């Protein structure tokens, strides 16, 4: 009921705004009725400006920031303008995709014959976020330093990597030009994947419109040009891993979650995201929480694998109630006629969890937290 009421409120709001935009721009140039085509147009603007910027960009630890500063200050009239176009077109593309997603949800276009478009459209915004985040890394100013450290801490929070990758940002000696080469590759590969998914997204839509009207394209270009001239894309000071930047000026379209990371405590009592990389590798609370998550993740995978293998091995070729009842009676009979209490206990033992005697006889763990018995009461 709450979802239906929310969709009704959103639908009424979109209808009123759309009628107002029809009166201002006309039905053929209404941006709210051409959100999908407008997203395609903004993608081509971002791609063209990015290719032009790549001509002047130098991939290197010491040369990346210098090249961006050179094109932003010395050649602002063409390269700096292209950088501002690239920045503001990306922000506008995020806003267009979010509004498009909300509008389709309010009109109940996520099920039935529209399920494929919804299923392929939702991941598009995450590919767009990844593209924007890797783009901020390439500038390598204070904002890029902040984004890189917070991204590395978030990846270390996930039970994927064995060693913390945030250690790579302890000092400039830990970074190399290969890091920026990798970032350039990701910043090119992810938009290509985004383009592929956008093409798949419209395959089940009859007469899909990928080009907005000429009047709307002209208005978007004029708006981006005016914004780029009067409010150029900012450039902070060069990244310095020896100190923590005070004010970086977040992009609230591409980087909204990074502000949440600074205010959500997790892992240790002082706030997981407030630990610096040097403090993080010495914080026992963070190491203990990471070890607990990795152990829980491993146990979950192992249990699922055992259950799946037993299901495949014992699955009948055709199901029948009589066969199921016979298997249940046979299991009850085998438990009832156990030779001794020890055998009965072993029959009910967990397939993966060792017994108490086996745990006491096992060698000491290499983890200092496990060796001190910190997990005994948890």
Indicate whether 234 and 126 sit together in one domain: yes
Indicate whether 240 and 133 sit together in one domain: yes
Query: What's the CA gap between 216 and 335, in Å, rounded?
Result: 75
pLDDT at residue 375, rounded to an integer = 40
Cβ burial, residue 183 (10 Å; 0-12/13-18/19+) = buried
- 124 and 199 in contact (C-beta within 8 Å)? no
Indicate whether 82 and 195 sit together in one domain: yes
Indicate whether 212 and 291 sit together in one domain: no
Query: What's the CA gap between 14 and 8, in Å, rounded?
Result: 10
Indicate whether 220 and 278 sit together in one domain: no
Query: What's the CA gap between 363 and 367, in Å, rounded?
Result: 12
Lowest mean pLDDT among 7-16, 175-184, 271-280, 300-309: 271-280
Indicate whether 70 and 154 sit together in one domain: yes
Whether 236 is in a domain gets the answer yes
* pLDDT average, residue stretch 361-372: 46
Whether 186 is in a domain gets the answer yes
pLDDT at residue 265, rounded to an integer = 55
Q: To the nearest whole number, what is the mean pLDDT of the chain? A: 77
- Exposure string over 114-128, b if 16+ CB within 10 A, otherwise e: beebbebbeebbebb
Residue 138's domain comprises 34-251
- Exposure string over 233-249, b if 16+ CB within 10 A, otherwise e: bebbebbebeeebeebe
Indicate whether 236 and 279 sit together in one domain: no
Residue 128's domain is classified under what CATH number? 1.20.810.10
Beta-carbon count within 10 A of 257 CB = 13
Cα 108 to Cα 33, 116, 227, distances in angstroms: 16, 13, 35
Contacts of the segment 266-270: beta carbons below 8 A, 24+ positions apart: 266/157, 267/157
Beta-carbon count within 10 A of 250 CB = 17
Whether 324 is in a domain gets the answer no
pLDDT at residue 23, rounded to an integer = 92
* pLDDT average, residue stretch 287-316: 53
Whether 334 is in a domain gets the answer no
Whether 170 is in a domain gets the answer yes
Q: What's the domain count of the chain?
A: 2
Beta bridge partners of 141: 238
Q: In this predicted model, what pLDDT tens digit does every residue of 94-127 receive, in sequence order?
A: 999 999 999 999 999 888 888 999 999 999 999 9
Indicate whether 182 and 279 sit together in one domain: no
* pLDDT average, residue stretch 321-341: 47
Beta-carbon count within 10 A of 315 CB = 8
Indicate whether 268 and 157 sit together in one domain: no
Q: In this predicted model, what pLDDT tens digit does every residue of 68-84 receive, in sequence order?
A: 999 999 999 999 999 99
Whether residue 258 has pLDDT greater than 60 = yes
Lowest mean pLDDT among 42-46, 156-160, 294-298, 363-367: 363-367
Indicate whether 231 and 156 sit together in one domain: yes
Whether 330 is in a domain gets the answer no
Whether 75 is in a domain gets the answer yes
**Which pair of tokens denotes residue 145?**
């330093």
Indicate whether 229 and 272 sit together in one domain: no
In three-state secondary structure terms, 262 is coil
Indicate whether 71 and 157 sit together in one domain: yes
Whether residue 277 has pLDDT greater than 60 = no
């Amino acid at each position: 009921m709450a979802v239906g009421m929310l969709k009704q409120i959103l639908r009424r709001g979109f209808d009123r705004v759309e009628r107002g935009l029809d009166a201002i721009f006309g039905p053929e140039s209404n941006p709210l009725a051409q959100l999908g085509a407008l997203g395609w147009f903004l993608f081509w603007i971002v791609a063209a400006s990015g290719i032009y910027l790549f001509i002047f960009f130098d991939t290197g630890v010491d040369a990346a920031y210098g090249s961006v500063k050179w094109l932003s200050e010395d050649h602002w009239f063409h390269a700096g303008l292209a950088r501002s176009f690239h920045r503001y077109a990306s922000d506008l593309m995020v806003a267009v995709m979010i509004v498009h997603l909300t509008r389709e949800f309010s009109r109940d276009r996520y099920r039935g014959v529209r399920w494929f478009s919804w299923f392929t459209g939702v991941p598009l915004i995450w590919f767009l976020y990844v593209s924007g985040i890797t783009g901020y890394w390439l500038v390598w100013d204070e904002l890029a330093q902040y984004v890189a450290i917070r991204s590395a801490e978030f990846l270390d929070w996930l039970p994927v990597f064995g060693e913390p990758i945030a250690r790579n940002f302890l000092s400039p000696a830990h970074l190399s030009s290969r890091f920026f080469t990798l970032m350039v590759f990701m910043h090119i590969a992810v938009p290509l994947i985004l383009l592929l998914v956008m093409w798949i997204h419209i395959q089940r839509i009859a007469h899909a419109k990928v080009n907005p009207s000429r009047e709307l394209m002209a208005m978007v270009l004029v708006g981006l040009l005016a914004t780029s001239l009067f409010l150029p894309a900012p450039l902070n000071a060069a990244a310095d891993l020896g100190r923590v930047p005070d004010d970086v000026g977040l992009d609230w379209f591409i980087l909204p979650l990074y502000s949440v990371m600074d205010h959500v405590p997790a892992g240790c009592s002082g706030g997981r995201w407030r630990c610096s990389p040097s403090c993080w590798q010495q914080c026992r609370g963070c190491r203990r929480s990471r070890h607990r998550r990795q152990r829980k993740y491993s146990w979950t995978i192992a249990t699922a694998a055992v259950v799946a293998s037993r299901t495949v091995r014992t699955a009948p070729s055709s199901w029948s109630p009589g066969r199921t009842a016979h298997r249940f009676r046979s299991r009850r009979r085998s438990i009832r006629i156990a030779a001794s209490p020890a055998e009965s206990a072993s029959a009910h033992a967990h397939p993966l969890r060792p017994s108490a005697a086996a745990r006491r006889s096992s060698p000491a763990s290499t983890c200092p937290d496990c060796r001190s018995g910190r997990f005994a009461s948890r």
